Chains A and B, each alone.
Chain A
Amino acid sequence: MIDMEDLDLSEFFRTKVEAIDFATRLSVISEKIYEADFDLGKALTDEFGIQKKDKFSILLRDNNILTASNSALEEFLNKIREKVSSLPVVSLTIAFEPKEETLKSICSWFPLNINKQVLLDITVDPDIIAGASVNYNGKCSDYSVKPIFDQMYESLIQ
């Protein structure tokens, strides 16, 4: 029995948009599984590219999925899609356009600190200067530099 709770999919997507795209591509592969000339390696390469295909192959092996069994493969893909749709979304407002490294460091913080993989929904607003405003599960707080800056500025002009 596969433990989907511990399944780490952060190698495949980090943001909400990437997760939706990933799930859509899995659906395309699922639809082809029972075709006579179905080739898993080719299907994974077509949908995800060579690097992610290798990572997905490792994921299958780590979870003891028999790729020869179409039904086992279909079940695994369906479970991944279910997990993707159940992942919590954290909305972050940050002051700059994040690079891959930034996304990676933010994303890896969550499993380490709150034991959850999350999907990031990022908005860029340079006015907040630096830091981030966080919105999760209906709770919201501004941890950016802007309130501190405004306070300093007000005292300065007075």
Chain B
Amino acid sequence: MPNLPLQFATFVVDLVVILIAVYFVAKLSSREKQVEQRERELAKKEGKIDIDYHQIVDNALTKERKILEDAVNEAKQIIADAQYVSQNSKETIDKALLEMAANVQKEAGNIGMQSIVDYKNYLGNLSSTSLGNFQNIAKEFGTNLEKQVKEFRETLLPNLEKEIEDYKREHLKKIDKAVEDIVQKVAQKALNKSIPSEDHNNLIIASLEKAKKEGIFD
């Protein structure tokens, strides 16, 4: 038999491998059963929790509805009371205001009448006083004016007449001077123009002759 130990060894190894594989398959199968068992338990628990949840929600909704109904009733009562109070207050305030307006009107009428009387009296007093003062002032003014006119005639008028006379004389003097200047200028120009060119030339040469005689060119 060729190589018998080797074949035996191979067989043993294969056997061991198969045994190991069988072990793991069995193990896996067991685990799967455990998982399924757990899932079933969980589903059962979930169903219970769901039932509890719905019950709680229903209870809460019922309580909420009750609270809302109570709140609405309460609010209606408060509004009804407030309307009643408001109506009463309005009537009271309107009545008070009417009374107040009547009083104010009456008071204003009284004050106005009194003011008119006072103002008339004041004006009467004032006009009589002012007229008196005015008469005094006018009289004083007339006296002063008369005095000033007298003074003016006696002292200022002669002085003023003298000043006017001096002013007139001064200006006539200036006018005379201006006229003289103008006449002189006109005469100069007329003379200048009236001299013939030849005479002008001769007069220049005569000037040079005089200058020579006086030693200007020495």
Physical interaction between A and B: yes
Q: What string of 1s and 0s marks CB contacts (under 8 Å) between B197-209 and chain A?
A: 1011101111111
- Residues of B contacting A149 in the complex (Cβ-Cβ under 8 angstroms): 187-188, 191
**Interface size class for chain B?**
20 to 34
Nearest B residue to A132 via CB reads B207
Residue from the list A102, A105, A134, A153 in contact with B207, Cβ < 8 A: A134
Asked if B212 is an interface residue, CB under 8 A from chain A, the answer is: yes
Asked if B133 is an interface residue, CB under 8 A from chain A, the answer is: no
Residue from the list A96, A106, A153, A157 in contact with B192, Cβ < 8 A: A96
- Residues of A contacting B206 in the complex (Cβ-Cβ under 8 angstroms): 131, 143
Docked complex Cα distance between A100 and B197 (Å): 12
Docked complex Cα distance between A93 and B186 (Å): 20
- Are A141 and B216 in contact, CB atoms less than 8 angstroms apart? yes
- Residues of B contacting A126 in the complex (Cβ-Cβ under 8 angstroms): 188-189, 192
Nearest B residue to A96 via CB reads B200
- Are B192 and A129 in contact, CB atoms less than 8 angstroms apart? yes
Given the known inter-chain contacts A99-B197, A143-B211, A153-B187, please indicate yes or no for A132 contacting B204, CB distance below 8 A.
yes
- Are B203 and A132 in contact, CB atoms less than 8 angstroms apart? yes
Asked if A109 is an interface residue, CB under 8 A from chain B, the answer is: yes
Minimal beta-carbon separation of B171 from chain A (angstroms)? 19
Docked complex Cα distance between A131 and B209 (Å): 11
Asked if B184 is an interface residue, CB under 8 A from chain A, the answer is: yes
Docked complex Cα distance between A43 and B180 (Å): 59
- Residues of B contacting A99 in the complex (Cβ-Cβ under 8 angstroms): 197
Q: What string of 1s and 0s marks CB contacts (under 8 Å) between A113-153 and chain B?
A: 11010000000001101111110110111011110011001
Asked if A84 is an interface residue, CB under 8 A from chain B, the answer is: no
- Residues of A contacting B208 in the complex (Cβ-Cβ under 8 angstroms): 106, 109, 113, 132, 134
Count residues of chain A with CB under 8 A from any CB of chain B: 35
Asked if B38 is an interface residue, CB under 8 A from chain A, the answer is: no
Most chain A beta-carbon neighbours within 10 Å: one of B192, B204, B216:
B204
Docked complex Cα distance between A137 and B187 (Å): 33
Docked complex Cα distance between A96 and B189 (Å): 11
Of residues 37 through 66 on chain A, the ones whose CB sits less than 8 Å from some CB of chain B are: none
- Are A141 and B214 in contact, CB atoms less than 8 angstroms apart? yes
Asked if A94 is an interface residue, CB under 8 A from chain B, the answer is: yes
Docked complex Cα distance between A108 and B205 (Å): 11
Asked if A95 is an interface residue, CB under 8 A from chain B, the answer is: yes
- Are B203 and A146 in contact, CB atoms less than 8 angstroms apart? no
Most chain B beta-carbon neighbours within 10 Å: one of A95, A137, A150, A157:
A95
Minimal beta-carbon separation of B178 from chain A (angstroms)? 13
Minimal beta-carbon separation of B5 from chain A (angstroms)? 142
Asked if A92 is an interface residue, CB under 8 A from chain B, the answer is: yes
Interface contacts beyond A95-B192, A130-B203, A143-B211: sample of 19 additional A-B pairs, CB < 8 Å, sorted by A: A94-B200, A102-B197, A102-B200, A105-B205, A106-B205, A113-B209, A114-B212, A116-B217, A126-B192, A127-B185, A129-B195, A130-B195, A131-B207, A132-B207, A137-B217, A141-B210, A143-B206, A143-B207, A149-B187
9 cross-chain pairs, A with B, having the tightest CB-CB distances, nearest first: A143-B207, A132-B207, A134-B211, A131-B203, A130-B203, A131-B207, A132-B204, A114-B217, A143-B210
